[in-house]
Structure 1
């Protein structure tokens, strides 16, 4: 993932979650609903910043990651948008077909692996449900008086969520459904490289690949992306077993070549909250105390990989014979 200097990431180091109640469920586009969540006692929820996500543990046992897209100044509710995925593994289908107001769900986070860096101008490009993390970003940019524009694409206008909310920004927002305009014209929207102007994009893999190509001539770290699907990292560094010491638990587990670190740790009775299991959501981020991790995620930048002080055990492995994790 291409990033600029970021605030510190929130690290799990184990399970950190609470319970919230679904207080509203509203269709906002074809195949998209929003959930409004609140503490059962009506209390204050943790603060969050644009780009943050939460992990929802549904009552069918699945945990899924959703970007916060509501009013960050509302201290008592969160809002997330959920797309009904045609190839759903059970998460989005359960939300759409089973989850109703009054139901309780587990909440992890919020965490932010996609923070909005300070700047005087921004360019935003969203594809489909990728609008959810971008929505609070444009609100923040507007609040701060920054110069910004958003290009928002989708298959059809009816499948594009939050168009009414975005209409208040006028011509700063370009809505380009594919059936009306074809593929997004990224070079025309981006224009010439602009030093000091971060470019934020979230959406399906083809869009992000096109964004990387379109921003190839921009200054380093101009492009910030959030992925739904993991990048191909090729073969792991080592194909043999290695040991993982769980510092807080006082246990050592051996991780076989065909088992993830996350699975090995869970088999030892130590729970780490996880969601995507593809190295894209950041839910399972864990501090590394010793050893050299083999980073196989789609989140950390080159400097963070070189530091070697954290890893995502759902996909990352070890270059060294032994890793010591803060678990």
Structure 2
């Protein structure tokens, strides 16, 4: 005995015939889905709209030996978003790669602002910025990237030493915008040496009691414990400034009432728990790395053109390939896969005492 097929049920409109649109959609899906999901099918490319080059739209002196640059896209397009604490990589005309904190308004999508202090005894990057990056000049860029993120804690103490105001000033604006319980302290040798003193002054007038300016010639060299005492109980501390200031803050922090200390250095941190080891180059030269120096410093003595930038283990510019030897990785950049493949950031990473690392250099 056969069982008759049931009649086609009516659709939502009471029709018994198939819906032509849905039938067409079903036929298209049956053709397209297998095609789009088959092995080897091309995936849509993710478009990267980040500009590779920016133009110096404006330049001004913001303190003794400090120049501020406003950088824009040549076609006027909006720039990628960034958060307080972010930095921009600049490829200078000489080929040097240097990183500078973004110190403008994150809400301004049409321009990035950086500030650079001239260091007469530096390695030439700051001098090149001051001499070469005039208005209208184009400069290669990458980023922004953030290795000093601002978490927006409810209670915050912001400490800036001199040019260290560059990553901290956007944090202060963000804290004010969010209504956080914050204090900003800007220190320096003299008032004339403090970058963006006009902006800090305006912030002080709007946020009475929240902004403190201390200069060595007027108030004496600040004491780290005294600076930390300005933090609200349980506050997070964000600090940027010269190495002696940051080292003093680290020593004084355990006795303070602050809950966390976040900081960014201008230069390489001192080597901690370093042991002497050896580098062997492709040409057979062996270079001794003392306990208190980095592999990068020793390499640059032998090969001055060795590339580098941050000297703190997060930008990746100084990466080299290790052909033999076990690396003591101390960076904050390389993935486990890259380390396993033999990559090493010579600005911070080392080897065990007496070991030899053979480099593809």
CA 1:201–1:234 in 2, change beyond 3 Å: closer, same or farther? closer
- Which of these residues, 158, 165, 176, is aligned with residue 214 of structure 2? 176
Q: Mean alpha-carbon deviation: is it higher for 219-228 or for 117-126?
A: 219-228
Rounded Cα–Cα distance in structure 1 between residues aligned with 2:171 and 2:115:
15
CA contact (8 A) 2:235 2:258 kept: no
CA 1:54–1:192 in 2, change beyond 3 Å: closer, same or farther? closer
2:65 is aligned with 1:31: yes
The residue aligned with 1:284 is 317
The residue aligned with 1:142 is 176
CA 1:190–1:234 in 2, change beyond 3 Å: closer, same or farther? closer
* 3-state DSSP of counterpart to 1:73: coil
Matches within 5 A, 1:251-262: none
Matches within 5 A, 1:186-205: 186-191=224-229, 196-205=234-243
The residue aligned with 1:123 is 157
How far apart are residue 144 of structure 1 and its match? 0.9
Rounded Cα–Cα distance in structure 2 between residues aligned with 1:185 and 1:237:
32
Rounded Cα–Cα distance in structure 1 between residues aligned with 2:253 and 2:121:
31
CA 1:234–1:116 in 2, change beyond 3 Å: closer, same or farther? closer
How far apart are residue 220 of structure 1 and its match? 8.8
- Which of these residues, 193, 198, 208, is aligned with residue 159 of structure 1? 193
* 3-state DSSP of counterpart to 1:27: strand
How far apart are residue 221 of structure 1 and its match? 6.5
2:120 is aligned with 1:86: yes
Number of residue pairs aligned between Structure 1 and Structure 2: 289
The residue aligned with 1:215 is 253
2:110 is aligned with 1:76: yes
- Write out per-residue CA displacement over residues 228-275 of structure 1, whole angstroms, 9 at most, x where no aligned residue: 1222225756735689xxxxxxxx9x99656958999xxxxxxx9841
How far apart are residue 192 of structure 1 and its match? 8.1
Higher RCO (CA-CA < 8 Å; seq separation 6+): 1
Q: More helix per residue: 1 or 2?
A: 2
* 3-state DSSP of counterpart to 2:104: coil
Rounded Cα–Cα distance in structure 2 between residues aligned with 1:263 and 1:233:
13
Rounded Cα–Cα distance in structure 1 between residues aligned with 2:345 and 2:79:
26
CA contact (8 A) 2:237 2:258 kept: no
How far apart are residue 61 of structure 1 and its match? 1.8
How far apart are residue 293 of structure 1 and its match? 4.3
* 3-state DSSP of counterpart to 1:107: strand
Alpha-carbon RMSD across the aligned residues, in angstroms, is 4.0
- Which of these residues, 267, 270, 286, is aligned with residue 232 of structure 1? 270
Contiguous gaps of at least 5 residues in structure 1: 1-15, 244-251, 265-271
Rounded Cα–Cα distance in structure 2 between residues aligned with 1:55 and 1:123:
27
How far apart are residue 97 of structure 1 and its match? 2.1
How far apart are residue 157 of structure 1 and its match? 0.4
Rounded Cα–Cα distance in structure 2 between residues aligned with 1:50 and 1:283:
21
The residue aligned with 1:63 is 97
Rounded Cα–Cα distance in structure 1 between residues aligned with 2:241 and 2:132:
26
Contiguous gaps of at least 5 residues in structure 2: 1-49, 290-294, 300-305
CA 1:37–1:178 in 2, change beyond 3 Å: closer, same or farther? same
How far apart are residue 24 of structure 1 and its match? 0.9
How far apart are residue 102 of structure 1 and its match? 1.1
2:316 is aligned with 1:316: no
Structure (1 or 2) with the larger CA radius of gyration = 2
Q: Mean alpha-carbon deviation: is it higher for 68-77 or for 169-178?
A: 169-178
